[in-house]
Amino acid sequence: MRMRCRHLIIAAILSMASGRCLLAQNTDLMRLEYTYIPQSDSENVFARTRAFINFPIPLDWEGSYLIPGLEFRSVNLDLNGELPFQTAQLNLYTSYRATMAYTCKFKSDWRLGVKIGAELASNFERTDFLSDDLRFSGAVFMIKDNSGDEVAKPNRWIIGLEYSTNAGRPFPIPIINYYREFAPKWSYSLGTPKTNIKHRFAKNQSLQAFISIDGFFANVQNNVTFDSNGSTVTANNISMTSAFSALGYEYYFSEQLLFYAYGGYTFFNEIRLRDNSRNNLFTFNNNNTVYFRTGIKFKI
């Protein structure tokens, strides 16, 4: 029961996925991963290294926790081919994110989670950072957990709202996810930002099939000016959005430490330059392609 309770505590507030959605069932305390997405019908390549840590701090009020977190991402975007601008300043992007989350327990198995974050994301081609490099995010969630050891078919609801200035929308985005263990060693989750079905076929191994999203957003400090359809335009930032289906394999060194490898194919994939009004100015590639991600994580 204690492990189930702690599982809920972290899931309540680490459910923003990044790109920025967080996976709604994310209970990771630490992760180191590598993502590789070659772009079909071009020589362009997207590669990302990511590392983060979250550390829960119990508070005096029973069932309440404060959870600070740190995250680092490095994106290598190898752009090739004939383009109407120089790409040397568009190849490497770095982001540094700090978050603070709070969760407390209500009656009737409900729990509240609140999370805020600040991030610097840019190509950092200058020696300093600009105001446009800075982004903010926030989320609020309600979680109803029925996953105690005494429950025949454990299940969990996560309902909330999240907002990020990365998204370029003046309103919060709803997040809803339902998780259920429907048979021994089988579970599924439905909703956003990830839907999956998972089978633990051995004590230390599991397979899953899922649909999810990925992406990144970064400021271009010195901007990019070029001709487009007979007029001069200036791009201020760059972003990528990918929606994909995949198969995943996990190998557990222990109940908390595991290796994972995911491979799949995108059904939406776009890398684009945009201006500060979020107008698309140039699309590098929007062909669907293969998707690979692997890493090691420590979870509860």
The pLDDT tens digits for 243-270 are 999 999 999 999 899 999 999 999 999 9
Please report the pLDDT score of residue 19 as a whole number.
34
> Do 51 and 60 contact (CB within 8 A), yes or no?
no
**pLDDT tens sequence across 44-71:** 889 999 999 998 899 988 778 999 999 9
In the structure, what pLDDT confidence band is assigned to residue 21 with cuts at 50, 70 and 90? very low
Task: Give pLDDT, residue 159.
Answer: 93
Mind listing the pLDDT tens digit for each residue in 212-239?
999 889 999 999 999 988 889 999 999 9
Query: Is the Cβ–Cβ distance between 114 and 102 less than 8 Å?
Result: yes
Residue 22 binned pLDDT confidence (cut-offs 50, 70, 90):
very low
Q: Residue with structure tokens 């021994």?
A: 184
Look at residue 168 in the predicted model and tell me its pLDDT: 52
Rounded CA separation 119/133 (Å): 8
Flag whether pLDDT at 134 surpasses 50. Answer: yes
Q: What is the pLDDT at residue 149?
A: 61
Nearest to 64 by CA among 117, 26, 22, 101: 101
Its pTM surpasses 0.95: no
Q: Which residues contact 170 (CB under 8 A, 6 or more apart)?
A: none
3-state secondary structure the chain: CHHHHHHHHHHHHCCCEECCEECCCCCEEEEEEEEEEECCCCCCEEEEEEEEEECCEECCCCCCEEEEEEEEEEEEEECCCCCCCCCHHHCEEEEEEEEEEEEEECCCCEEEEEEEEEEEEECCCCCCCCHHHEEEEEEEEEEEEECCCCCCCCEEEEEEEEEECCCCCCCCEEEEEEEEEEECCEEEEEECCCEEEEEEEECCEEEEEEEEEEEEEEEEEEEEEEEECCEEEEEEEEEEEEEEEEEEEEEECCCCEEEEEEEEEEEEEEEEEECCCCCEEEEEECCCCEEEEEEEEEEC
State the first-to-last Cα distance of the chain, in angstroms, to the nearest integer.
Answer: 13
pLDDT band at 148 (very low <50, low <70, confident <90, very high): low
Specify which residues 266 forms β-bridges with. Answer: 244
d(C-alpha 274, C-alpha 26), whole Å: 30
- Listed range (38-42, 134-138, 139-143, 261-265) with the worst mean pLDDT: 38-42
Q: Average pLDDT over the chain, rounded to whole?
A: 85
* 136 Cα distance to chain centroid: 15
Which position has the token pair 């100015």? 281
Residues 184-207: pLDDT tens digits?
899 999 997 789 999 999 999 999
